[in-house]
Structure 1
Amino acid sequence: MSSPSLQDAANALAAALSRRIAWKDADPVGSPFDQALQRRVLQSYVDDLAGLSPEDAAGWMLQRMAMLEARLMAVQAGQWHGGEAISPVVAARSAQQGATEAKPAIAPVVAEAIVLPTEAVVPMEEALSTEGFYAKEKSSKGGTFRWIGPLPRASLFIPKLKGPIEVRLHILDTRAPDVLGATRVALDGGEWTVVTVLREESGIVLIAVPPVGHINHAATMRLDIDSIRTDSPKRHGKSDDRELSIAVQKVQLRTLPGQ
């Protein structure tokens, strides 16, 4: 499929939808609004596809489809969360007929099963919602990290996943290596869980599967980290007088398989 063919198809569809619509004949009720939005979207397709190579156009199309499906899942979850979903068409027709209650068009679906991811990687960026971390820094290899300090406890908000969740803290350095294995983590106010220390070529990884607590957020979870103790480089002849514990590069999360 070539780039011109995609653009031509978008142009043809936009032109077909540009004809006048007789409002009195519109069925369902929302059809005129739906077609108006389709014309706007198709015109954006025409603009986006202009000048793209066939390979780039195919990649654009796949990315757009994935984005639309993801957003549809979020909308469905919003409709189904806490109750039964009602089709917009059924609701509109029921309103026209003066019905006080529309019969659900489909069975209830658990919202979390639709939209919650099963894995995520959270880099330690400055914009991240955190407490107990110093500002972002760059390592000699170009990667970013943030020290926990001046107190040994810190927290950050991570994407909400379905439990049980394996938490992996990728650590660049530590100022208290003798207590690294005693580091604890907790999710959403749940019980503290001591990590397992894994040493890799890329650095140190702290691994734990903490139980999820009862603090409920719509799309995020709070990850608490207790690194036990801090130390200052100044006590060891350096100029840095900050109290530091562990330097976190990123947090890796995944829902354990078979759960």
Structure 2
Amino acid sequence: MYDLATRKHALRLLGGGRSLNSVSKETGISRAAIRSWRVRIEPLPRLNQSQPCTSPTDRAAYSYLLGLYLGDGCISSHPKGGHYLRIACADAWPGLIEECRAAILAVRPADKVYVLQRQGCVNVTSYGRHWPCLFPQHGPGKKHERRIVLEGWQQEIVDAHPWEFLRGLIHSDGCRVTNWTVRNGKRYEYPRYFFTNKSDDIRKLCTDTLAKVGVRWTVLARGSDPLNVSIARKDCVALMDAHIGPKY
């Protein structure tokens, strides 16, 4: 095992324009090890085994994180035990990345969170034992190819914190845009929200929750597929702005 300072030194040499071969020869570190550090240089967090599988510590944060997970999240197992929760967040929204980190820490304060850079995005990642318990929608294959149903305790949390859930969905697979049209030679602009997801079940979770908070919505098809949930009525957009707002 190499300490963090050694890892960072090798990456600094690479960043200065040195080749992988030359850095390996100078430091005596294998090329495979240096190559792996380009993805992650921090040591793997130790698995927290001190806490049993319990309900979320912060239910509002969990509702938000559930929305993020259903949109852009996944869970994978580690060969030595434990699981990774990964939420993909675009580089364009640094505020979203920080909110995601904060939500994970609020839900599981004893588990560590780190950020892995990918091309055009980051994976906000946490390593722990209980992520499959907290997100029982985890399973093999893509979400839109399997049934997605909330457990009773999850639905209770969403019912108590609907706006946090919707905010997570919009922050993952949604957006706020400005549309325009021309009437009588004059240009009119108006904002609207979209939520786009291939899963019929996840879209229904979104629209059911929108209905509960008094937001009216329509479905816009992409080709023959009704993948887009649209919120365009002025009063409903104002309500969404008050509770969600654009990404940042």
In the superposition, the TM-score normalised over structure 2's length comes to 0.27
Q: Which has the larger radius of gyration?
A: 1
In the superposition, the TM-score normalised over structure 1's length comes to 0.26
Please identify which structure carries the higher helix content. Answer: 2
